[in-house]
Structure 1
């Protein structure tokens, strides 16, 4: 086949692609197994991901002189996830508000009763940011396993979410590598381009329309709306993590996943988009 007319990549992939693919296959298999098992499999997977991602982020923050209480953050994050199973959004809100109070009041006495708190506003705000960014958003992904209506199994809602996320990432990756030349936010993430965003929109919208209509049985335009909202949130989530790492002067959250970096480097766009997915699919399933 002649190749002289095929477009050449404008940008390098920027990672070990074979290792990334291998890790992606393993993670995909774990996700499929958890989806097949239902909430009893999906919730432990989400809770484990929350624990690892929270550990990564807190570790990086503590390395840069932020005083973040690791054990309370881990426990409260798990409470947010697990209470969303029996009590759904009410359990999540109750756990989140409790976590906010613990961080606000506990930070006052981080150095004891006789020593005034230092960097109180900074460290409290960062703690609440992490609790919102990881366990709260992840809880919406967990609650997808509790949606079911009109004979549609809850697993179909999770599969819809995951396929849209994969399509968004794939479309953005291909378009960004092949055609990316106009940076979207160069001050935050120089490698993220408008061409990559357009690829994510196209792939995410098409996948959303197909999965929502074929797997869930709803109108295709509802899936298109889901795809667009998911892509926008995923892209902004990527930018948030890019700025987070830029301020700390790090490239990856950890080296846990070869070819990917840390687990949080894979979840950055998925977490905020889970909230949009739960909202849209929850309305469809109600």
Structure 2
């Protein structure tokens, strides 16, 4: 018998990188958020209020951080415009959302021009106006597409199935990237923007999101022809890319401002934007893709 203690034993791979946060706290908060989302899917007409509140909180976080770092952005204007974009998408669809965005962007730019009155020169107007319009695109515009997922229908498939498909694909991307990055991450993907991102994590995100996309197409959205495999792979891959891009955009935003988290609203996760950064662009792509095939 081999006396070596490790001989012939199977060992699980050990993490190569630190998780960088308290997992018990993060998991508890994530479970609580998941329960809230499920409740809003069950209760009629609760999805739009959930999105409106989340986008309002995210806008407040971002505006507060920008103002702390010398930018002059007007939260009341951005909040009002963002809420109008979301709520007008309910009765008028994409037309209401995009029309409200256009008006909100115009009002934002003009309001910043005269923010300090007619007799005070608007210093850094172009910078602040541009950042304000970016916030409208980044948060309520993408959030409005996420809200409109509840309005999609296909045969006997209702809106909740499209929302769950979107969320499962994004969660799969996060979980696949997180697990692969922690256990196997060795090659940085974009070290100048997000040092913790690795190509191994990127591969894990794509693989798991694509698999979940195929499963959701068949089980939730009831595409039973072979085309569902192609659609599922495309949806999962696209949402994974959007989620990663959204995370990189937020990472660069925080790097520019020299901060670690947008806020401390959600223990273990940071702020609202730290939790939904990848979901926002993914929501827009989900609406475009699933609305086209439904």
TM-score strictly above 0.5: yes
The Cα shift of 1:212 comes to 1.0
Equivalent position SS for 2:196: strand
> What is the deviation of 1:3?
6.9
CA distance, structure 1, for counterparts of residue 25 and residue 53 of structure 2: 22
Q: Counterpart in 1 of 2:30?
A: 24
Shift of residue 4 of structure 1?
5.3
Residue 244 of structure 1 and its aligned partner are, at CA, apart by: 0.3
Partner of 1:232: 241
Report runs of 4+ in structure 1 exceeding 6 Å deviation: none
Equivalenced residue count is 283
2:146 paired with 1:141:
yes
CA shift, 1:37, in A, is 2.3
Change (3 A) 1:174 1:115: same
* Residue matched to 1:70: 75
Q: Secondary structure at the match of 1:84?
A: helix
| Corresponding residue SS for 1:86 | helix
SS at match of 2:46: helix
2:155 to 133, 146, 150: 150
Kindly report which structure 2 residues correspond to 1:220-259, keeping only aligned pairs within 5 A, or say none.
220-259=229-268
Look up the SS of the partner of 1:105 in the other structure: helix
- Which position in structure 2 is the counterpart of 1:263? 272
**Structure 1 partner of 2:287:** 278
- Alignment of 1:5 with 2:11, yes or no, is yes
Matched with 2:101 is 96
SS at structure 1 position matched to 2:174: helix
Structure 1 portions without partners, runs of 5+: none
CA offset at residue 220 of structure 1? 2.3
Q: Does 1:107 pair with 2:116?
A: no
- C-alpha separation in 2, matches of 1:71 and 1:56: 13
Shift in CA distance, 111/22, structure 1 to aligned 2, threshold 3 Å: same
Aligned-residue CA RMSD (Å): 1.0
The answer as to 2:185 corresponding to 1:191 is: no
1:52-78 Cα distance to aligned partner (Å, 9 max, x none) = 100000000000010001111111111
Q: Hey, what does 2:4 align to over in structure 1?
A: none
Task: Tell me the residue number matched to 1:163.
Answer: 168
**Aligned equivalents of 2:143 and 2:85: distance in 1?**
9
How far has the Cα of 1:115 moved from its partner?
Answer: 1.1
Q: Quick one: distance in 1 between partners of 2:214 and 2:70?
A: 46
Structure 1-normalised TM-score?
0.97
CA distance in 1 between partners of 2:30 and 2:229 (Å) = 28
CA distance in 2 between partners of 1:134 and 1:266 (Å): 13
Once the two structures are TM-superposed, the CA of residue 224 in structure 1 deviates from its matched residue by 1.1
Tell me whether 1:46 sits opposite 2:55 in the alignment.
no
